[in-house]
A and B are shown apart, each in its own frame.
Chain A
């Protein structure tokens, strides 16, 4: 067993780090302050190939592995959690299900533009009444045999990259079926393009953190999409959504890891500069022990996140690894950023200091793409058999 990164991964990390420091970090404050979607950065990331890292070259991607993609989200999130999640939602929640479940025609139609960053992707599962309980879906898709179209009605909420994305994976109920004597909803997934009549955007959410990330409500009113907009088999939408979220969780785990690393880096620098009682606060044992604990937890999180990324490359099912990585990394991010604010004292509570933003950004990683409680459900279901 070897924990050393290969030279190509090391070089990829140095690329992501340089890009994050030069292109992303200078905008992180204003992205947050103005709730401004980082469109210019997305264009630069598209040119640099960051919008399709794990996508095969024949579909216009970079042909790299999930670990490389994970390191990209990690390094971006070290300086800006918003930029990290833009890439994560686009890659894991939109490109990945099309690559995994799409027909060859769907892959050819959508993936090259998404992987090159010409188009942005998003994923719509959550509804006002259906978050963790995905069976609570109300959005319906009814097939119109006369026109050979699906007619979608309903709404989705909290959709990352909303309104800026061009391609949306939308989960909807397509009927009622009987399973083991019980009537349950039949759920399917669809690819819906921005600009389709009947598809519009509702409220833009005002959030605690990742404020530059556009979080929108999606509204479907008699939105007609062609029969071939169905992604995967009819009735398999729930499985597609869950498998997609397994991949998405690795992206969010990487985002959480990056936020924790970023906050820790800033704090290590700060405690060496800040003087109290005539010496730098890094000379106090409380500071040293706090930093030691945080560095250890961040390293442990990195091991879990990279393990999950490697599992995605080699295993068909990686729900357990993804859930453990996300659960641990998200909770470490929250704990580390909170402690980092504390070590900054009053300055940590001021917006001018990055750790203030990072603490707000960290919280969402314990909530979206499956709360920490959901991760515990997934883990226990895999462990207690």
Chain B
């Protein structure tokens, strides 16, 4: 069994978001991490590998620096890493990104399952995974809370508003994973050393299969980010110590005051 996991190196927003003067993210000023949903997807793949055996291939698209996230994936247990990088791929939106990743995945022989994170914490679109499945003409199951392999199919517990769906799909297919799926394992020190002794496969534009230049990079991106800004911070909350009846009256008063009720 071969599982392809798409991982993205993203700015660590836990340390605060930094912007350049033009309003775009200052990625160089922020520490980077593996996108949490992707990490859960990788863990799900590694658990399948532990249980029934599988080759896990981590794929990322980005600047050459993004190889770090592949080393991390390999230090956790992925067998191979593929970095898709080329100047012509820069500035890609979700359409151009999914086109690129699909082109890279077409070059990987005999895969059974593709796992991506639901969404990345820097873009929050949740579009790339499902788009890849469309490009590859594969079934997609999104929002996986749980994932099991049964014969030639996967059974996914799919998160829904107030319930969940159990969905079964025949492989090859694509699943998008939620960070809640599992608690990802730590890298091991030996895994880190091995990861740095392992060659990473680098793919350029010319290695992508069945893609057209008009769908790649900035020129192939129908959407553009006009501006990005930090969230408006909420003020400090108010702590009120009253008995239950007074508390209810107090809250009702506040809600009326703000015209909520």
Q: Which residues of A contact B (CB under 8 A)?
A: 6-8, 11-12, 15, 18-19, 47-50, 53, 57, 61-64, 68, 72
Give Cα A218 to B92, complex, Å.
66
Which residues does chain A contribute within 8 Å of B68, judged by CB atoms? 7, 11
Which residues does chain A contribute within 8 Å of B190, judged by CB atoms? 49, 53, 57, 61-64
Give Cα A35 to B196, complex, Å.
40
In the complex, are the beta carbons of B196 and A50 less than 8 A apart? no
Which residues does chain A contribute within 8 Å of B72, judged by CB atoms? 11
Question: Which residue from chain A places its CB closest to the CB of B31 in the assembled complex?
Answer: A14
Within 8 A of A (CB), among B177-202: 185-193, 195-196
Question: Which residue from chain A places its CB closest to the CB of B75 in the assembled complex?
Answer: A11
Consensus secondary structure, chain B interface: helix
How many residues on the B side are at the interface (Cβ–Cβ under 8 A)? 15
Question: Which residue from chain B places its CB closest to the CB of A15 in the assembled complex?
Answer: B187
Give Cα A7 to B186, complex, Å.
17
In the complex, are the beta carbons of A11 and B71 less than 8 A apart? yes
Which residues does chain B contribute within 8 Å of A18, judged by CB atoms? 186
In the complex, are the beta carbons of A7 and B189 less than 8 A apart? no
Which residues does chain B contribute within 8 Å of A53, judged by CB atoms? 189-190
Give Cα A68 to B75, complex, Å.
15
Within 8 A of A (CB), among B221-239: none
Per-residue interface assignment for chain B, residues 156 to 196, with 1 indicating a CB less than 8 Å from any chain A CB and 0 otherwise: 00000000000000000000000000000111111111011
In the complex with contacts A11-B71, A11-B72, A11-B75, A64-B186 CB distance below 8 A:
no
Which residues does chain B contribute within 8 Å of A15, judged by CB atoms? 75, 186-187, 189, 192
Which residues does chain A contribute within 8 Å of B189, judged by CB atoms? 12, 15, 49-50, 53, 62, 64, 68, 72
Q: Which residues of B contact A (CB under 8 A)?
A: 68, 71-72, 75, 185-193, 195-196
Which residues does chain B contribute within 8 Å of A57, judged by CB atoms? 190
Question: Which residue from chain B places its CB closest to the CB of A9 in the assembled complex?
Answer: B192
7 A-B pairs with least C-beta separation: A62-B190, A49-B188, A8-B196, A62-B189, A48-B186, A64-B189, A11-B192
Question: Which residue from chain B places its CB closest to the CB of A56 in the assembled complex?
Answer: B190
Question: Which residue from chain B places its CB closest to the CB of A64 in the assembled complex?
Answer: B189
In the complex, are the beta carbons of A62 and B188 less than 8 A apart? yes
Task: Kindly provide the distance from the CB of A249 to the nearest chain B CB, expressed in whole angstroms.
Answer: 21
Task: Kindly provide the distance from the CB of A54 to the nearest chain B CB, expressed in whole angstroms.
Answer: 9
Q: List 13 A-B contacts (CB under 8 A).
A: A7-B68, A8-B193, A11-B68, A11-B75, A11-B192, A12-B192, A47-B186, A49-B191, A53-B189, A53-B190, A62-B189, A64-B189, A64-B193
Which residues does chain A contribute within 8 Å of B193, judged by CB atoms? 8, 12, 62-64, 68
Give Cα A15 to B191, complex, Å.
11
Question: Which residue from chain A places its CB closest to the CB of B194 in the assembled complex?
Answer: A63
Give Cα A76 to B22, complex, Å.
41
9 further interface pairs, Cβ-Cβ under 8 Å (given A11-B75, A50-B189):
A7-B196, A8-B193, A11-B72, A15-B189, A47-B186, A48-B185, A48-B188, A49-B190, A63-B190
Give Cα A78 to B3, complex, Å.
38
In the complex, are the beta carbons of B187 and A11 less than 8 A apart? yes
Which residues does chain A contribute within 8 Å of B75, judged by CB atoms? 11, 15
Question: Which residue from chain A places its CB closest to the CB of B67 in the assembled complex?
Answer: A7
Give Cα A15 to B187, complex, Å.
7
Question: Which residue from chain A places its CB closest to the CB of B196 in the assembled complex?
Answer: A8
Give Cα A48 to B185, complex, Å.
8
Which residues does chain B contribute within 8 Å of A63, judged by CB atoms? 190, 193
In the complex, are the beta carbons of B186 and A8 less than 8 A apart? no
Which residues does chain A contribute within 8 Å of B195, judged by CB atoms? 8, 11
Question: Which residue from chain A places its CB closest to the CB of B187 in the assembled complex?
Answer: A15
Task: Kindly provide the distance from the CB of A327 to the nearest chain B CB, expressed in whole angstroms.
Answer: 28
Which residues does chain B contribute within 8 Å of A8, judged by CB atoms? 192-193, 195-196
Give Cα A64 to B188, complex, Å.
10
Give Cα A310 to B68, complex, Å.
25
Question: Which residue from chain B places its CB closest to the CB of A68 in the assembled complex?
Answer: B189
Which residues does chain B contribute within 8 Å of A12, judged by CB atoms? 189, 192-193
